[in-house]
Amino acid sequence: MSVTTTANPITYTLQSTLQDYEVHISGNDTNEANIDASLNPSSTTTLVQNPPGWPRDHNRIPNYRPLNRQLNFEERPNGSNGIERAFLFAMFTGVALNAGMAQTWGSTGGKDLDAYDQTESLSIIMSPRNDFSQCTAGDPKFWPAYIRHLALANICIMVFLANMYAAGITTGFAALAMEFHLSNAQLVDVISYPVLALGVGNVFWTPTAVCLGKRATIIVALFVFLAATIWSIRAATFQSLVASRILACFAGGSIDSLGPAIVADLYMERYFATAMAIFSIFLAGGSQIGPMIAGFIITAKGWRWFFILCAILIGVNLVLILLFLPETNYRRVMYDGETAQEADKVAVQMIEYKNEAVNAPVVTTESTGSQALNLNPPYAGSYWRDLISFKNRGTEPRGLVEWPRQFSLPFRFILVPQVFFATISYGVFLGGAVIIATVAPQLLSPPPYLFKASGIGLFALSSFLGIVIAYPIAGPFTDYMSRFLRQRSHGETHIPEYRMPALLMPFLIAPPGLLLFAYTLAHGGSAYAAAAGYAMQVSALVFVPSVVLSVVVDGWPATGSEALVLINAGKNTVAFGVTLSIPIWLAREGLIKMFWEMAAIQWAILVLAVPLYVLGPWARKKTFWLV
């Protein structure tokens, strides 16, 4: 660490190649009232024994835990004092200090923090530096918050548009039937096959992202999505329309697995569920708001104008992604059995420790941070140059040569219980929402309801209330449940399955929503009550993925994107099977019995979360050799 000193404030500077941080410390000592330090993460970690100046009275420091790696730092040329020691100790342990909480020592003599007025606090505030030229250098988890949030916003917009395109046309069934002279049973194809393509496309796009980079893959997918949407506008036959929608959903669905993988790249483990809930609300919102938008446009202008609007919005999203979605691939050194929280700790330690120790006996050597840094291509030099740097941006150094192997990797997760459960649970709740979206136009168009396309769209929008209400509960509640259960168990090991109890919420809410919808419309009841049932069912599209996807990404941080490929392909395959069977199922069983059977399936699947919660850590250890 190089130190430069001015009369007031004192400025510390640590040089590195990764993210910058600003640390401000304030005390009530006249000569040391302000310390302003620019802290950079280090690229190596050096282990030292008993570094000089390290606090000995650990019991006086709240939440103190001994570190396996400790930092030795250079002494300030003119000596050391208490507040500087407090500053260094707080940075390298992550402990926030208040006056009177700790005592600091220095090899040249320290000053007891108790000497400070007990009513005055010593505060530490860490925030990303606004150095735009270097803002996307290094690990994406430590990029400035506004860059990470912009990237999240872009992928959320894309997943919204993909699902809006896929689901919106349901409100135009009457218009399509009139133009192409089709029955309701035949019209199901315009939904079922695109839903399948929406999930199966991930099997192609994810290995491409591993080999070439997520940014390049998403850009190519958006170009294909835009071209196929223009094809939908020009489609002259029903078969051409179905083919164009299959291609469009194949491309637009790329974000279904790349989106959660980008979330895992950008955010620490403790924010996974919250960020995933945001992503899920846009995913589900596209399926619910899309039909409303389509309904009004189809009523006023015809079904082709819905696709014209989609094409315009996809073009805007493409421009935004070209400008505000940096590459998030980062080659980290991962260890067998390591969870995302443990990987995050290594990343934080990489930030906190210095390149080399001086004035102390060195024991070991290079850190994971250095190894990870060497694995990654050099930073392009600025944010804008980094956006157009596509060479060697995949996590697979050999590029497309490894594509066949990467293509096969997701199928390893078929035998992993957590991934299988995530696939089936997500799929059956998506299938429930698709059932309602498909049968609602058939039930609401005839008497006694006589809904037009715009009315059916508004009915679909009402279900979005379920998403809006579920969101503030799903993400934060899931993260809180994980922290609470860990604290209650007094365990030192983080367990991803601690999120599983949050599935009690969809268990109590979603299947009864199916029954409310079915009984209401079967007996000619209020459309508002049916809409409430729809909202209850759709709320599961936020609750379930925010739990199960967070468990998978947390439990397998190095290979989680591969698991997400299988999950997304599998859940859309389940939804495809459900959608394709609707005409026969409904004709054979009737509305109420069909919905009772679907609700029973959902309850049975969620009950499987109980043994998975108990045996999940054991199962992860037993199956880790597979992945």
How many other C-beta atoms can be found within 10 angstroms of the C-beta atom of residue 513?
A: 28
pLDDT of residue 499: 85
pLDDT (0 to 100) of residue 109: 32
234 or 490: which carries more pLDDT confidence?
Answer: 234
Q: What is the structure's pLDDT at 257?
A: 80
Tell me the mean pLDDT in the region 517-543: 93
Q: For residues 159 and 254, what is the distance between their CA atoms, to the nearest angstrom?
A: 9
Helix (H) / strand (E) element for 610: namely helix 609-623
Q: Can you tell me which residue has the tokens 């698709």?
A: 434
Residue 87 has pLDDT above 50, yes or no: no
pLDDT at 306 over 90: yes
pLDDT for 511: 97
Give the chain's mean pLDDT: 74
Strand partners, 35: 10, 25
The yes-or-no verdict on residue 473 having pLDDT over 60 is yes
Q: Rounded to whole angstroms, how far apart are CA atoms 418 and 613? A: 9
Residue 284 — very low, low, confident or very high, per pLDDT cuts 50/70/90? Answer: confident
| Distance between CA atoms of residues 323 and 334, nearest Å | 31
For helices 453-462 and 464-489, the axis angle rounded to 10 degrees is 20
pLDDT band at 337 (very low <50, low <70, confident <90, very high): very low
Q: What is the pTM of this model?
A: 0.68
Sign of CA dihedral 380, 384, 387, 390: negative
Pairwise CA distance, residues 48 & 71, whole Å: 7
User: What's the pLDDT score for residue 72?
Assistant: 32
Alpha helix (H) ranges present in 52-127? 82-93
Average pLDDT (463-473) is 84
Encoded amino acid at 220, one letter:
V
Q: How does residue 28 score in pLDDT terms, banded at 50, 70 and 90?
A: very low
Rg of the chain over Cα atoms, rounded to whole angstroms, equals: 27
Look up tokens 């202008």; give the residue.
301
Q: What's the Cα-to-Cα distance from 443 to each of 186, 355, 451, 472, 602, rounded to whole Å?
A: 16, 68, 9, 32, 23
Q: Which domains does the chain have, with CATH numbers?
A: 2-129 (no CATH), 140-170+197-331+424-626 (1.20.1250.20)
With cut-offs at 50, 70 and 90, classify the pLDDT of residue 376: low
Which pLDDT score is estimated for 132?
60
Question: What is the reported pLDDT for 205?
Answer: 92
User: How high is the pLDDT of residue 333?
Assistant: 52
What pLDDT is recorded for position 379? 59
The answer on pLDDT for 169 being more than 50 is yes
| Percent of the chain scoring above 90 in pLDDT | 36
pLDDT value of residue 366: 35
Which has the higher per-residue pLDDT, 148 or 344? 148
Asked whether the beta carbons of 373 and 525 are under 8 A apart, the reply is no
Partners of 13 in the β-ladder: 2, 38
Express each pLDDT in 532-565 by its tens digit: 999 999 999 889 988 898 888 888 877 777 788 8
At residue 239 the predicted structure's pLDDT band, cuts being 50, 70 and 90, is very high
pLDDT category at 493 given cuts 50, 70, 90 is low
| pLDDT tens-digit series, residues 113-129 | 333 333 233 233 333 34
